[in-house]
Structure 1
Amino acid sequence: MSVTHSVNTSWDPDENQLIQRARLLNSSPEVVYDELMAYGSFLSSGHMILNRFDKELEVKLAERNDPLINLGLAYNGVNHEVLRNLYAQAKSGSGDAAYNKALQVAVLSNKAAADMDISFAMLPAISKDEFWRIAKEGDEDELSALLRNPGARGVLKDIFNRNPPLDSLPDERWRQLVMYATSNPGLNYDDSNEHGPDLTAWDIQKGVLNVLRTAPVDSHWVWALHPLLMVLNPSNVSRLPSKDEAIKLIERWRNVKVSKMFGEDKNEDDEGYYTGARMSDEFSCLLAALFGRVFVNNKFENIGSKGHEDLVMRCAWYGSEKMKSEEVQAGIDKDGNVFAMTALLNDNILLDKGCRRILETTLSRPLAAMYKRRCEQMRLRYKWFDTSPVSEDFEEESVTDEISALADAASVKALATELAVLKTSLAAISRSIFWATLILGGLILYK
């Protein structure tokens, strides 16, 4: 008789392994699925180093061949052989096509099994040829699952650096891969410490520079790379080795025409999302703020200055140099939202409560959302950093872009509904299989 008790909300690594196996092997598929979700969350949060996982349990659960349990294993398991078998099952083309697609996406989304530092050639559940197929012709579900999976961070360095065989992809397809990879949280992971640098993080940031240096200079790529620049943690970006290289990078994109995508006059320049300036200017200012500080002869130098006659060169200064409160106010008075956007990329300004207080009084709704994101990045680097507003007049609820928040909430609600329907359907399938097997067995015994 199967166990149908409610599952705990977290995985208990201290439960006796024999009891744990016996309990789960005799639990209903619904219970096993819920516990596997907790199991995957536990492992992907870094607990795998404690070796508190049970690969043999995963094998035994897979032997039950239950659709709901298989889905839970695909999304949360760490046994590479089990995952490869489930992926092969999903790609076999037999059975329910919708379920097979869900199983495939679950494996590609698995955060616990993938090694964050490996490249596509060593992904545990799929072969190099399968990665190449996904990169070349994979659909939206496949690309989103794999390229936004922080557990597959190593894939990002291959995409941004356009490592073979990705170098043979058309530019348009490469642009699509870059856009999906931009949403991967692993983009900003950097585990460098006293024991050594995080080489994967270095390779990813070098790859970002490679995209900026080699991607076609047109409006489509500006719209693709603008979100990438916005989500980068300024503390992690690669420093260029000379002022000439930094200026060359900025000038490469500076004169690109970004026409309006909508409206009657398609020849009119589109506006930037954060500043109201032309998109080409906003993009150039972002580049200057992120890459305008270079490392030359073992010291940092800036290509710009706060009093420079060129707005882009001023932004290079705004994005990295130490400033006093009165300098922040002067920058706001002179350059408005452009100053605020680039100043938010400056760790020195965010570490100064006086400067933060002045910034908070001038932030538009999009910039307020950016401010929240930047404060969260600062908290990751400085554990003592307080993300709470420092100004009494600043309303904390204003830091979320209302339109984006509503869209995200709707998407999450729709996804949750789909998962609930899928889980219910799979549970029904499991029960049908169970009763069919029981009846068939009874008929065999009767004969």
Structure 2
Amino acid sequence: MDWDSTTPPAIIRARLKHAAPDTVYNALQAYGRYAHAKGLMLNADAKLEAMLEERREPLIDLGLAQNASDYELLSRLYGRARSGTGDAVHDEGMMIACLSNQVASAMLFTQRIAGIEDSELRRLALEGGNDQIKALMQNPAAGGVLRDVYARNEPFNDIPNDRWLLMVHMSAGNRRLNIDESSVDGPDLLGWDIHKGLSTLLRSAPETDGWVRALHYLLIGLAKDTVRTLGPGELEEILRKWAGVSIHPFGRTDGNEEGLYTTLSFVDEFRCLVAALYGRVLNGRTFDVQGGEAAEDVALRSAFYGNGKLSPDQINKGHERDGDAFVLAAMFNDGLLLDQKSRTLLEPMISGYLTHVYERRCEQLAKKWRWFKPAAVTDEMRTVQEMNSAEIGESTRPESSHFDKLVSEIASLRAEVQTKVSKPLQAIGTWTFGGLLVVLMVLIFRH
């Protein structure tokens, strides 16, 4: 249902004051969508929210937790649930609903979660359940949390590494990572800080298989124009840092696990992804493309594929040499995708899970460039997209929600398994569970 914006607010309040709780809950869902889309400061109804809180109906409280604009009301609802009402199921739902709220007015000023103090954010970081952490890290209205987790600012500055990793895992697919709120009034400073924190994370995160996976899931969904431009030497430093990590195949203590999208090792695929995203470096007042098509390191070739101006001959030679690794990197080359002829050459080279990444990238470009058409330009890709749409029962994919959901589910699945593995099982070997997760990820991506 849609929110009724034509009826006088006083009449709506009178109706909802006596309406059944399920009717009020549905109305609050529409109210939240309307307030968020139209501008909550002008369209929120504080009197309505206060009146509905007075009813003290559990279902209405849940609707308020998800959609109320008054941060003080949110604080009261969260506090009651945190203290415990005697209904553990309802209390958990209320806490997660508050953590998921995207319309509360305090978010405009704190960029955190409305009505929730830093001390509670710290408690959640240290001991919150997976569902709570996911609600927190997936909330696009809480960009300040992303910024502070990535940069390890207070109140997350000294949380244990396993909890830090969990929070980063759970942030994969958050829409705020690809939102640029810059306007005529000024740049999106929070967006800048989020991506500054992410680039810092690439240099500071522990060099383990868990971090490679978490960062891979996080980076694969990024829009190219939102990432922070690195300075001279930073990309090489990051690529060297992760080159030494080994991820072994399932059930083995040697060899290298294959990537999700290419036949490269998982680690090298991740390094290629980093290079494709961050391969244009600011050197003084000019931008320099790193690497080159003749570089020995496939990651440095990917830096060129993802950022250089590629001729048709270079596209063909790049694919001939590096196959899917070339395709993965080239899909983050906005200039290549915006050129119809280059895109026509690239599409027949795309297969497997890379088709989902390609669709996501085209939708990102369509949001930035109104003239760009995300629909396939070749018969080969049109056939693949029709098959993909048929598999998920959709003819369109608004705002790439399907891809975002896949990325988020994969990251959450791995994080959940990691946190539930008992110590005796951990002694058997992390790689065993890593292999199990690869199987689960393949199943997810096939759907």
Q: TM-score range by the shorter chain?
A: 0.7 to 0.9
What are the Cα deviations for residues 96-151 of structure 1, in whole angstroms up to 9, with x where unaligned? 1111111111111111116556557x632211111110011111111011111111
CA contact (8 A) 2:71 2:105 kept: no
Aligned partner letter, 1:257: S
CA deviations 1:176-224 (Å, max 9, x no partner) are 1111122311112111233211100010001001111111112121111
Paired position in structure 1 for 2:295: 308
Equivalence map 1:334-353=2 (5 Å): 334-353=321-340
Report the Cα distance in structure 1 between the residues aligned to 2:323 and 2:389, rounded to whole angstroms: 20
Which is greater in Rg?
1
Give the aligned partner of residue 428 of structure 1.
none
Matched with 2:152 is 162
Aligned residue number for residue 138 of structure 2? 148
2:398 maps to which residue? none
User: In the alignment, is residue 40 of structure 1 matched against residue 38 of structure 2?
Assistant: no
Aligned match of 2:77 in 65, 70, 86? 86
1:186 to 173, 176, 187: 176
Within a 5 Å distance, the mapping from 1:26-425 to structure 2 comes to 26-49=18-41, 51-113=42-104, 119=110, 123-242=113-232, 244-260=233-249, 262-263=250-251, 265-394=252-381, 395=383, 396-398=385-387
Distance 1:114 1:136 in 2: 27
CA distance in 1, matches of 2:148, 2:88: 31
Bigger Cα displacement from structure 2, 108-117 vs 129-138:
108-117
Amino acid in the other structure paired with 2:57? D
- Shift of the 111–11 alpha-carbon distance from structure 1 to 2, 3 Å rule, reads same
Contact 1:33 1:68 in 2 (8 A): yes
Unmatched tracts of structure 2, length 5 or more:
393-400, 410-447
Unaligned 5+ runs, structure 1: 1-8, 413-447
Contact 2:71–2:106 under 8 Å retained in 1: no
Kindly indicate whether the alpha-carbon contact (under 8 Å) linking 1:118 and 1:152 is maintained by their aligned counterparts in 2.
Answer: no
Question: Shift of the alpha carbon at 1:356?
Answer: 1.4
Using the aligned pairs only, state the percent identity: 39
Paired residue type of 2:23: V
Quote how far apart the aligned CAs of 1:26 are: 1.9
One-letter amino acid matched to 1:30? D
1:67-104 deviations in Å (ceiling 9; x for gaps): 11111111111112221111122112232111111111
Q: Once the two structures are superposed, what CA deviation does each residue of 1:249-277 show, in whole Å capped at 9, x if it has no partner? A: 211112211112x23x2322100101111
Q: Is the contact between residue 239 and residue 294 of structure 1 (CA under 8 Å) also seen in structure 2?
A: yes
Provide closer, same or farther for how the CA distance between residues 332 and 46 of structure 1 changes in structure 2, counting only shifts above 3 A: farther
- Provide the C-alpha distance between the structure 2 equivalents of 1:170 and 1:59, rounded to a whole number of angstroms: 40
Query: C-alpha displacement at 1:393, in angstroms?
Result: 2.4
Paired residue type of 1:221: W
Q: Which residue of 2 aligns with 1:431?
A: none
Q: How much has 1:355 moved relative to structure 2?
A: 1.4
1:33 maps to a residue whose letter is Y
Q: Which amino acid aligns with 1:134?
A: L
Matched residue type, 1:153:
G
Q: Which has the higher contact order (CA 8 A, sep 6+)?
A: 2
Shift, 1:53, TM fit: 1.5
Quick one: which amino acid aligns to residue 61 of structure 1?
L
- What SS does the aligned partner of 2:89 have? helix
CA–CA distance in structure 2, aligned partners of residues 347 and 297 of structure 1? 23
Cα deviation, 1:255-311, whole Å, max 9, x if unaligned, reads 211112x23x23221001011111121111111111221011111002211233332
2:433 matched to which residue of 1? none
Shift of 1:405: 7.2
Q: Which amino acid aligns with 1:41?
A: R
Q: State the alpha-carbon separation in 2 of the partners of residues 30 and 112 from structure 1.
A: 21
Q: Match for residue 436 of structure 1? A: none
- Whether contact under 8 Å (2:25, 2:60) holds in the other structure is yes
Counterpart of 1:163, as a letter, is: N
Q: What are the Cα deviations for residues 416-438 of structure 1, in whole angstroms up to 9, with x where unaligned?
A: xxxxxxxxxxxxxxxxxxxxxxx
Match of 1:168, SS state, is coil
Matched length: 398
**In angstroms, what is the RMSD of aligned CA positions?**
2.3
The secondary structure found in structure 1 opposite 2:288 is strand
